[in-house]
């Protein structure tokens, strides 16, 4: 018998394409690869050996015969390759020839399987790398979104800080207002004190005028007493002059009487005695009156002097008090003027500082508020843009990941199909 010709690679591909066209496309969940039974010619039993489950005495059918074709079609109707008579020449071949042909077929079909496996591995690696890239892009987008969220939170914290600074400024303004009110109250107290000092000064002036009036009255009384004393002295002098005149007249009368009335000597002596007694009595009375008047005058003078000294001391004390009050009033006025000047300067300085601080703070607050509003609006816009971009990137990444997964699944299904399709060839090469 002539030896059959070996199948080439193109013939094998054409046969597989014809078989796929006859069977149709595989399902999404293909069944497990067909198992070769122990009674099939491609099973674990070799050609010419007795199968394990066959009765003793039965031999394996001859390869390439009609019995072999019937057994192949009956035992495995879903085989992945057509019957041997469709691939080889109908001329029957021996077992050694069939092994050689199967080895050649396995060697010729292993190269496209390796290429398909390497292509499938490369496709799976590309899909995995694309999925990792999309995951990294999603992570970067999430980090950017968190960064913009942090910027928005920092802008809000700056706005809160500006609000706190505004509250502190209002508190400082309230404190300055309270200090201003306290200064006003101190000025009012000083004004009341000045009014009371002026009232005391008026009272002291009234007392001084009353003391001066009493001093004038005492001086008038002293002048009246002095006038009375002078009048009494004048009366005494007039009386003394009258007495001297009377004595002269008496002497003249005595001489005339002595000259004329020598006879009346006893009467004249008696009259002289009486006259001396009267003169002594009158002199004694005058001396007593003068002593009494002098004592009364001394007592009155001492009393008036004492009263005058007391009044002078009281007047001096009042003058000292008035001088002290004037000095106190002057110092109070100076202090009031100085405090008023200091208060006016402090109030003006505080008002200028307050106006400057308010203007500066208002400008700062306005600038900060506008800047914060612009930054917040910019951050919101950028955050919205980032969110939209992130959403688009996430959507695209999900779509690409889904497409990659679908491609991976399709590649895996294709690989499984090729593997299932090439399983009989690997079995033949094992044979």
Cite the beta strand spans of 110-238 per DSSP E: none
Which pLDDT value is given to residue 398? 81
Which one of 43-47, 132-136, 148-152, 385-389 scores highest in mean pLDDT?
A: 385-389
Compute the distance between CA of residue 220 and CA of residue 52 in angstroms, rounded to an integer. Answer: 176
Identify the band that residue 43 occupies on the pLDDT scale cut at 50, 70 and 90: very low
Please report how many Cα atoms fall inside a 13 Å half-sphere around the Cα of residue 137, on the Cβ side.
19
Q: What's the whole-number mean pLDDT along residues 410-421?
A: 82
Q: How far is CA 363 from CA 159, 166, 352, 370, 375, in A?
A: 15, 12, 16, 10, 17
Which pLDDT value is given to residue 214? 78
Residues 6+ apart with CB under 8 A from 319: 208
- Provide, rounded to the nearest whole percent, the portion of the chain with pLDDT above 70: 66
| Cβ(34)–Cβ(76) below 8 Å | yes
Q: What's the whole-number mean pLDDT along residues 411-428?
A: 73
Q: How far is CA 428 from CA 96, 123, 175, 269, 313, in A?
A: 13, 29, 103, 217, 155
Q: What's the whole-number mean pLDDT along residues 239-262?
A: 74
- 36 compared with 309, residue with greater pLDDT: 309
Q: How far is CA 403 from CA 28, 127, 374, 394, 410, in A?
A: 17, 9, 42, 14, 10
Compute the distance between CA of residue 360 and CA of residue 172 in angstroms, rounded to an integer. Answer: 14
Which pLDDT value is given to residue 96? 55
Weakest-pLDDT range from 4-8, 35-39, 100-104, 170-174: 35-39
Compute the distance between CA of residue 377 and CA of residue 385 in angstroms, rounded to an integer. Answer: 12
Which pLDDT value is given to residue 313? 86
Compute the distance between CA of residue 31 and CA of residue 417 in angstroms, rounded to an integer. Answer: 10
Question: For residue 302, what are its two tokens?
Answer: 């001492």
Helix orientation angle between 9-23 and 265-430, rounded to the nearest 10 degrees: 110
Tokens 């400082």 appear where?
Answer: 172
Q: CA nearest 297: which of 239, 391, 231? A: 231
Identify the band that residue 409 occupies on the pLDDT scale cut at 50, 70 and 90: confident
DSSP symbol at 93: -
Which pLDDT value is given to residue 24? 53
Q: CA nearest 161: which of 405, 302, 369? A: 369
| Cβ(397)–Cβ(134) below 8 Å | yes
DSSP symbol at 79: -
| Cβ(19)–Cβ(81) below 8 Å | yes
Q: What's the whole-number mean pLDDT along residues 263-276?
A: 72
Q: Is the pLDDT of residue 189 over 50?
A: yes
Q: Is the pLDDT of residue 62 over 50?
A: no
Which pLDDT value is given to residue 4? 40
CA dihedral (302, 307, 311, 313) in degrees, to 10, reads 50
How would you classify residue 64: left for phi > 0, otherwise alpha for psi between -120 and 50, otherwise beta?
A: left
Identify the band that residue 258 occupies on the pLDDT scale cut at 50, 70 and 90: low
176-194: b or e for each residue (b if 16 or more CB lie within 10 Å)? beeebeebeeeeeebeeee
**C-alpha 308: how far from its chain's center?**
79
Which pLDDT value is given to residue 227? 82
């Amino acid at each position: 018998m002539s030896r059959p010709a070996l199948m080439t690679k193109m013939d094998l591909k054409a046969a597989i394409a014809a078989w796929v066209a006859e069977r149709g496309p595989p399902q999404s969940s293909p069944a497990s690869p067909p198992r070769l039974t122990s009674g099939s010619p491609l099973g674990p039993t070799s050609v010419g050996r007795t199968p394990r489950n066959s009765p003793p005495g039965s031999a394996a059918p001859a390869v390439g015969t009609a019995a072999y074709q019937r057994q192949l079609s009956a035992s495995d109707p879903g085989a992945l390759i057509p019957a041997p008579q469709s691939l080889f020449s109908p001329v029957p071949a021996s077992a050694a020839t069939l092994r050689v042909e199967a080895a050649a077929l396995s060697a010729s079909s292993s190269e496209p399987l390796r290429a398909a496996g390497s292509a499938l591995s490369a496709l799976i690696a590309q899909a995995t790398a694309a999925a990792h890239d999309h995951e990294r892009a999603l992570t970067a987008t999430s980090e950017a979104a968190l960064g913009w969220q942090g910027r928005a939170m920092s802008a809000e914290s700056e706005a809160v800080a500006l609000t706190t600074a505004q509250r502190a400024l209002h508190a400082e303004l309230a404190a300055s207002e309270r200090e201003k009110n306290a200064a006003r109250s101190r000025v009012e107290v000083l004004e009341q004190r000045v009014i009371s000092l002026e009232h005391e000064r008026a009272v002291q002036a009234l007392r001084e005028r009353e003391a001066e009036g009493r001093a004038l009255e005492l001086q008038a009384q002293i002048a009246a007493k002095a006038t009375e004393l002078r009048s009494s002295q004048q009366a005494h002098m007039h009386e003394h002059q009258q007495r001297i005149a009377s004595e002269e007249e008496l002497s003249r009368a005595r001489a005339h009487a002595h000259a004329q009335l020598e006879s009346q000597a006893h009467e004249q002596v008696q009259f002289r005695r009486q006259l001396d007694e009267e003169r002594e009595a009158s002199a004694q009375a005058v001396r007593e009156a003068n002593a009494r008047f002098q004592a009364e005058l001394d007592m009155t003078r001492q009393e008036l002097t004492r009263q005058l000294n007391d009044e002078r001391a009281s007047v001096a004390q009042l003058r000292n008090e008035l001088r002290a009050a004037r000095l106190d009033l002057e110092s109070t006025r100076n202090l009031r003027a100085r405090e008023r000047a200091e208060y006016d300067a402090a109030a003006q300085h505080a008002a200028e500082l307050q106006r400057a601080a308010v203007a500066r703070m208002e400008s700062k607050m306005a600038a900060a508020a506008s800047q914060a509003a612009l930054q917040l609006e910019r951050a919101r816009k950028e955050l919205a843009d980032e969110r939209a971009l992130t959403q688009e990137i996430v959507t695209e990444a999900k779509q690409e990941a889904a497409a990659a997964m679908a491609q991976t699944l399709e590649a895996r299904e294709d690989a499984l199909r090729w593997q299932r399709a090439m399983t009989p060839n690997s079995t033949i090469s094992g044979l």
